[in-house]
Amino acid sequence: MGKVLLAGVGATPIGEHWEKSLRDLMVDASLNALRDAGVEKKNVDAIFVGNMSSGYLQGQEHLGSLLATWLGIPGVAAHKVEAACASGGAAVHDAFMAVKSGLYDCVLAVGVEKMTDASTDQLTSALIMADDQEYTAFAGFSFVALNALVYRAYMDKYGAKQEDIALFAVHDHEHAVHNPLAQYRRAVTLDAVLSSPLVADPLHLLECAPTGDGAAALLLCSEEKAKELGLKPEVEVAASALATDVLSLHDRDDLTTLNATLRAAERAYKIARVEPKNVDVAEVHDAFTVLGVIHLEDLGFAKKGEGWKLVKEGEIEAGGKIPVNMMGGLKARGHPVGATGVYEVYDAALQLLGRAGKNQVEGAEVALAQNVGGVGGTVAVTILRRVR
């Protein structure tokens, strides 16, 4: 089968978009991707919209048809994809399969979430839906509390210090300064992170990704369609893999690794025919600092229990062993949950296209994006490669 090419990318800034609705955001991102590709919307065969909570927060479902309608292309195949915080990555996965299989030639993968219109209570209720309502939520756990358990388990098992793990937030903010779409374009110090209020012990406020509004979109095309349209995309989607784990932490043997990441990464590496050492830049799902550290290990960039060393030793910076979250990550670029997986691929693509500005990793040829739903109940891994 031919290559799946990334013909265009588009996104909105992440922030408090009081003046824009959910539909506005996803239409804006989609049109940006089409303009970037130089493709007319009539050429789109299918649309996959990643979103977690529109039904609960906006009282609006049926996002596929909604977006097709407002793009002015009713008639195309379109539907919503939901996998909690991995909804965006799952939408990319579906788009990849649709083009790779030959079923469709030109597909939009869109991620969207609007969170700032909701109260904290509403958001807390929405986010815990990523776990088991009848057991975890019923017992009074919040999503932050579950990740605090993971944090505590990791420090206890590997003897890691919180100040070393918390450096992940400092790293993200340093790079978000130069990202025009980032929600928090300001640097923070380690002292500021560790002196910020505790949200769920040991998680401090500045170790947690913020809520926000935003949308991102990717246009995927087959080689044949790209030639027909006169396009010469510079990036291909070399692999996309999706995996699940036992949904809730209380049923897992080890809280310090995400089995879904192990499975999805193994599959993606195999499809793309690369190894972790071949990845030049990565976007990992650091909704909380400890997750960023764990992902470095599960993706094969560090030994178990030693992911924090890459952060402390500067190995996730440009020029390091594996540059990570060079556009600010979830912590500082922002985390509009259902859109995050698409933003991650968008940021990874900017690196391969040489459009990352002051955050550019020179000579990047292979990029990886990892998107997590819940506390690892679902994980999507996407690998991009410059067209050779």
Instruction: Give me the residue label for tokens 């989607």.
Output: 237
Residue 378 host element (H or E): strand 378-386
Q: Which of 173, 175, 295, 335 is catalytic?
A: 335
Cα 130 to Cα 285: distance, rounded to the nearest angstrom:
15
Strands (E), 175-234: 198-200, 203-204, 214-222
Take residue 330 and report the two structure tokens written for it: 């979830």
Q: Report the 10 Å Cβ neighbour count for 296.
A: 28
How many Cα atoms are found within 13 Å in the side-chain-facing hemisphere of 63? 33
Task: State yes or no: is 335 an active-site residue.
Answer: yes
CA distances from 20 to 8, 9, 33 (A): 23, 20, 18
Q: Which of 46, 37, 50 is nearest to 74 (CA)?
A: 46
What residues does 216 pair with on adjacent strands?
11, 111
Cα 325 to Cα 104: distance, rounded to the nearest angstrom:
31
Please give the distance of CA 81 from its chain centroid, rounded to a whole number: 14
Bridge-based pairing of strands 366-373 and 281-283 is parallel
Task: State yes or no: is 85 an active-site residue.
Answer: yes
Q: Environment class of residue 194 by beta-carbon count within 10 Å: exposed (0-12), middle (13-18) or buried (19+)?
A: middle
Cα 278 to Cα 262: distance, rounded to the nearest angstrom:
17
Q: Which of 85, 106, 208, 221 is catalytic?
A: 85
Q: Which of 171, 148, 195, 149 is nearest to 307 (CA)?
A: 171
Q: How far apart are the first and last CA of the chain?
A: 17
What residues does 370 pair with on adjacent strands?
381
Take residue 28 and report the two structure tokens written for it: 């804006």
Helical axes 289-298 vs 167-176, angle rounded to 10°: 90
Cα 211 to Cα 6: distance, rounded to the nearest angstrom:
28
- For the annotated catalytic residues, the residue numbers are 85, 335
